């Protein structure tokens, strides 16, 4: 452990010991065979990011050599690298988590001296160690202290983006306040109109991931619908999970996985 985090050791132990058990399954897929899978971060300091996510309530898990932090409904995958920038200015501006107790959640990360913007007692934005923006909403009746909520895209054409995610991934269209939404099991994808943002690839939040029931069949269906894959289906570095990559039409990098969750 690096010296600057030695003072957090007791907090980390407490966070791990009181966190809910990490189930090995993601949300059950929709009729198209798709559910939320993961968010992939590229960070200069993996341990710092891991410590932050554990303090937030995440639980370290692994699938072979693949190291992840699990929150109910999503895995956060970490890879060491030098990102081109944070989420502000990216197609994925932030992702969101539900928390049972906002005050307790913010108290746990207070020693990290991160930028926190709290709009009201039930909502806050946290800028993580690698400028990854996370929105928190307090919801008392959720099933665990913290669970996955949403991924928020900033795109030039929200209605077109909504329709694309509905068509390609069987998402359910909707609206939350001013935001167009497309929901897959495990997460809502929200859209805000913004003409200035850039691709996620190469940034600290490099891509989002959907878990699929049958990767080869999913890729064939997407290609038949006109999607050009960036990487064809292959076995990932852990030797078990099947993966493939594509971009949405606005530059959000997307990984498809089959078998991401650790085996029971």
Q: Tell me what the mean pLDDT of segment 122-140 comes to.
A: 97
| pLDDT band at 263; cut points 50, 70, 90 | confident
Coil, strand or helix at 7: helix
Query: Could you tell me if residue 114 is left (phi over 0), alpha (psi between -120 and 50 degrees) or otherwise beta?
Result: beta
Q: What is the pLDDT of residue 256?
A: 98
Count of domains forming the chain: 1
Q: What CATH number has the domain bearing residue 170?
A: 3.10.180.10
Residue 182 belongs to a domain: yes
In 3D space, the residue among 247, 249, 227 whose CA is nearest the CA of residue 161 turns out to be 249
CA distances from residue 58 to 12, 18, 38 in whole angstroms, order as listed: 11, 11, 13
Is 125 within 8 Å of 218 (Cβ atoms)? Answer: no
Question: pLDDT band for position 6 (50/70/90)?
Answer: very low
Q: Which domain holds residue 95?
A: 3-258
75 pLDDT higher than 50: yes
Rounded-to-integer distance, Cα 245 and Cα 170, Å: 18
Indicate whether 93 pLDDT > 60: yes
Give domain status of residue 264, yes or no.
Answer: no
Q: Which of 64, 61, 39 is nearest to 254 (CA)?
A: 39
Q: Which residues contact 228 (CB under 8 A, 6 or more apart)?
A: 246
In this predicted model, what pLDDT tens digit does every residue of 24-65 receive, in sequence order?
A: 479 999 999 999 999 999 999 999 999 999 999 999 999 998
**Over the stretch 43-54, which tens digit does the pLDDT of each residue have?**
999 999 999 999
Question: Is residue 191 pLDDT above 60, yes or no?
Answer: yes
Is residue 136 helix, strand or coil? strand
Q: Which of 132-136, 142-146, 212-216 has the lowest mean pLDDT?
A: 142-146
Query: Do you know the residue count of the chain?
Result: 264
- Residue 83 domain flag: yes
DSSP label of 169: H
Partners of residue 94 on adjacent β-strands: 152
Res 70: pLDDT = 97
Neighbours of 171 (CB within 10 A): 24
What pLDDT score was predicted for residue 161? 98
* 263 is a domain residue: no
Give the residues across from 125 on adjacent strands.
117, 135
Six token digits for residue 140: 């008392």
Write phi, then psi, for 134 (nearest 5 degrees): -125, 130
Asked whether residue 128 is domain-assigned, the answer is yes
pLDDT at 13 over 90: no
Instruction: Give domain status of residue 145, yes or no.
Output: yes
Banded model confidence at residue 9, pLDDT cuts 50, 70, 90: very low
In a domain, 185, yes or no: yes
Output the pLDDT for position 12. 34
Please state which of the ranges 10-19, 68-77, 222-231 shows the lowest mean pLDDT: 10-19
Q: φ and ψ at 167, to 5 degrees?
A: -70, -45
**Predicted confidence (pLDDT) at residue 7 exceeds the cutoff of 80:** no
């Amino acid at each position: 452990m690096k010296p600057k985090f030695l003072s957090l050791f007791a907090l980390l132990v407490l966070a791990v010991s009181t966190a809910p058990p990490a189930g090995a399954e993601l949300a059950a897929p929709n009729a198209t065979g798709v559910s939320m899978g993961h968010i992939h971060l590229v960070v200069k300091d993996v341990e710092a990011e891991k410590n932050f996510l554990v303090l937030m309530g995440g639980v370290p898990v692994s699938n072979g050599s693949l190291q992840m932090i699990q929150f109910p409904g999503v895995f956060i995958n970490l890879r060491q690298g030098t990102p081109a920038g944070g989420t502000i200015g990216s197609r994925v501006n932030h992702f969101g988590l539900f928390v049972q107790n906002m005050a307790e959640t913010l108290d746990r990360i207070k020693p990290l001296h991160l930028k926190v913007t709290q709009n009201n007692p039930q909502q806050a934005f946290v800028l993580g160690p690698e400028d990854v923006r996370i929105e928190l909403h307090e919801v008392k009746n959720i099933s665990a202290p913290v669970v996955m909520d949403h991924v928020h895209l900033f795109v030039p054409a929200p209605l077109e983006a909504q329709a694309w995610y509905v068509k390609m991934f069987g998402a359910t269209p909707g609206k939350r306040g001013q935001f167009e939404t497309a929901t897959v099991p495990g997460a809502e994808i929200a859209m805000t109109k913004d003409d200035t943002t850039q691709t996620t690839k190469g940034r600290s939040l490099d891509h989002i991931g959907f878990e699929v029931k049958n990767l080869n069949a999913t890729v064939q269906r997407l290609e038949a619908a006109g999607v050009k894959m960036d990487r064809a289906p292959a076995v990932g570095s852990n030797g078990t999970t099947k993966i493939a990559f594509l971009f949405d039409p606005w530059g959000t990098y997307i990984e498809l996985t089959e078998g991401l969750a650790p085996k029971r």
